Amino acid sequence: LFPESITTAQQSLVLVKRLLAISVSCVTYMRGLFPESSYGTRYLDDLGLKILREDKSCLGSLQIVKWIQGCFDALEKQYVNLGFYALSSNPTVTEMYQFKFKYKKNVPQMDISSNHRQFVAGLCSKDVKQASKVLLRTLYLLMQDLGPLPSDVTLSMKLLYYNDVTPKDYQPPGFQEDGSPADLLFAGDPVNLKVGSISTDFHLMKVRVTAEKKRVRKADSNLIQKNGPTEISHQGLDCEEEDEEEESTKINLLNLAFSQEEVIEPKKKRKVSEPEKLPLNSRK
């Protein structure tokens, strides 16, 4: 599943792309969005993973695969800052899965952290693999702890970019300019969950989950961050000032719910994309 070594930017890119695809596959599988026929099984040592594939009998799974491929294009060009998948029961969001990306221009010593475990070992692919397993296991366990979804849930996706390097007219394959940049409204009281992060000499990828508090049955308290607000702004989700340190005093990616004017000045408004065509219902 992963490169044998992580010594080049291309090998690091392959790792990040596959982690994204595996994580999204995990979410859709564990939340019961698509039939078993839409998945193949791969193994990472003793960890069995369900991977989305192009299942022509399930239009929803075909659409998600296209979304992932569009994300790959933006990752290759180093444009995408944040991608998030939202499970919604109109008009409110039920669950949100965020993937934040950073691209390293310098080559520091590798620092991999996931679920409060830390590895510092230069370019050691063994530690990258171990940290990846920790992140995926944490995500699988979290999915098992979430309560059932509403019967009318739909799945959507948004991509946010680094404005200083992304051409104004750029859209990944299968995406278009976001036509509804309104804030995301959560039902009930949302809780923020830290799944983990993976860092190489070339990329940083963070995974976060937001869900209704009453539906998080027994998640590890170490994963839970301070409760966020019921409204989350697209612009507020992508705060350039977010520190990579996991300290309680730092501004959290998911705890920003201000207007665009309060978070980012108009001239710095974040570019946002949405898929060209959304499935009517993710379970059909």
Q: Can you give the pLDDT of all 284 residues of the chain as single tens digits? A: 777 778 889 999 999 999 999 999 999 999 999 999 999 999 988 888 999 998 889 988 999 999 999 999 999 999 999 998 888 887 788 899 999 999 987 554 444 444 444 433 344 567 888 888 999 999 999 988 888 888 888 888 899 999 999 999 999 998 998 876 666 788 778 888 889 999 888 999 999 998 888 878 765 555 555 444 434 444 444 434 344 433 332 223 333 232 222 233 333 456 888 887 544 444 44
Specify the 3-state DSSP secondary structure of 266: helix
**281: enclosing H helix or E strand:** none
Query: Is 82 exposed, middle or buried, given 0-12, 13-18 or 19+ CB atoms closer than 10 A?
Result: buried
Look up tokens 């979430």; give the residue. Answer: 146
Identify the CA nearest to 113 among candidates 101, 128, 103, 102: 128
- pLDDT of 186 reads 80
- pLDDT of 156 reads 87
Identify the CA nearest to 17 among candidates 62, 61, 108, 83: 83
Cα dihedral sign, 158-159-164-169: negative
* Cα 166 to Cα 174: distance, rounded to the nearest angstrom: 17
Query: Interior CA angle at 217 toward 129 and 280, to 5°?
Result: 80
pTM of model > 0.75: yes
- Are 226 and 220 in contact by the 8 Å Cβ rule? The answer is no
* Cα 158 to Cα 86: distance, rounded to the nearest angstrom: 8
- pLDDT of 2 reads 76
Question: Domain 9-109+121-225, what fold?
Answer: Cell Cycle, Spindle Assembly Checkpoint Protein; Chain A (3.30.900)
- pLDDT of 106 reads 56
- pLDDT of 10 reads 92
- How far the first Cα of the chain sits from its last, in Å, is 29
Cα dihedral sign, 182-186-189-194: negative
Q: Kindly list the strands in the beta sheet with 80-89, ordered across the sheet, starting from the edge strand earlier in the chain.
A: 175-177, 272-275, 154-161, 80-89, 92-103, 203-212, 190-199, 224-225
Residue 284 CA from chain centroid, whole number: 23
* Cα 22 to Cα 42: distance, rounded to the nearest angstrom: 10
